[in-house]
Structure 1
Amino acid sequence: MIKTFFAMVLALIFLSCKENTPPEPPPYVRSIELEALDASCTEAWLKVTLTHTTTDSILLTRDGQRVQTLRLTTTDSLLIDEGLLPRRSYTYKAYRFTGTTVTDSSQTVQVTTMDTTSHNFTWQIDTLGDGSSSVLYDVAIINDTLAYAVGEIWKKDSNGNWINPPYNIAKWNGQQWELMRRLYDCRLYFPNCGPNYYLYTPIRSIFAFGPNDIWMAAGTAQHWDGVRWTEHAGILGVGDANKIWG
């Protein structure tokens, strides 16, 4: 009986001395996040996000150096860092301060600025026309193999005489210029303007939405749809169109 009582006492002692296992701490959740949104050659766009609004100060660093300090009145804000170098990587981090004490920080994010385009241009000078009062008023560049220049371009024939009427369109195909001429139908304005219905005028303006959608101011408003030119009466009576935009 004594032995049994002694064993029960020992069991109670061991049970009373056993420590409780502490609960697992909750996973750490940052109260400040930093996200890289975009970058140009000399600027970086970042977004800082807080879990809740605060009066704390926010410090943004680039490669460990202070960039800016701010206070947020909302839970997120766009930050722009300027004066960067092209084609270079930067590391950013945001800190949250209460007074002078760091209370939290974001993860680091990396931003790589874009490279600049090449400035090694090769200029080629072309001469359109043989002189006289040749002039270009406007140009429409559609791509590197299609461009139009318009105006009044005088050329001489094989005998040295001036070709009249002159050309008013120069078309570039990526290799060379082709001189062209567009006339306008005066009957759109004056039904009895004959006997020569198609008259010449310098082309003052050209605007291209694409290779098959081109507008010109050539006496009338003329439109190229990829198949044919169509004329539209713009200003009725005495007048002319000098500029087209869209």
Structure 2
Amino acid sequence: MAFKLHIPPCISTPSHPLHPPPPEKPLRIQIEGPVVAIQKLLPEISWHADPFSLVFPQPAGPEIAKLAYRVVYGRDVCPELVNDMVVRDEYLGWVTDVTPYRHIDYYGVTFDHLVPADHPDPDVLQINIIELETDGGPFADGGAYANEYLLFAVDPADYTGKKVLAVPRCCQKRKGTQDRARVNSSVAGRDARMRGANAIKEGCSVCPRLEDKARLECTTK
């Protein structure tokens, strides 16, 4: 059974202006965390971890974005509303102690809400998923991690077997002063790579026509 994604209310008084954000405000949201936690939210999801045949986005990307959107805005994504939720980027954290790379242990997705496609620097809400149940590996002792780096106390027993904790930056001790620049730069890089890939595809589709034209010109001279 899928766990529930839980984002606690802002602990600040008054609340941070992006926790929760005004529904009419254009906003870029990045949510990321250990794959072991994401699999509790999406137990049936598949992962494409072959570095030579990657897909964008991963199947988990839009689904995690929808879950986060529902919790942040208190409603489901509206397909009829232009730019209500658009996946823009993702991060894959590869397990690097085994080669070739075939496993991802950390994943993040970035999505826009009402952000114009050409906006280079929208406001960013950073949300981190905290794994609280794993006993071994790089994400073990999540309870100790949470109580060291969050601005509120966490009892892992409140989450075990039922929900996954996710915390906006404003409720963490880490200030995230580079979040906006980092996330927006990554989106810009993704856009540039996709434009380049599309240009290559279009160029390849034109090549046969150019060759035919060249042959025709040679035969008419």
- Determine if the TM-score, normalized by the shorter chain, exceeds 0.5: no
Interval of TM-score (by shorter of Structure 1 and Structure 2): under 0.3
Q: TM-score, normalised by structure 2?
A: 0.20
- Higher helix proportion (structure 1 or 2): 2
Q: TM-score, normalised by structure 1?
A: 0.18
- Higher strand proportion (structure 1 or 2): 1
CA radius of gyration, larger in: 1
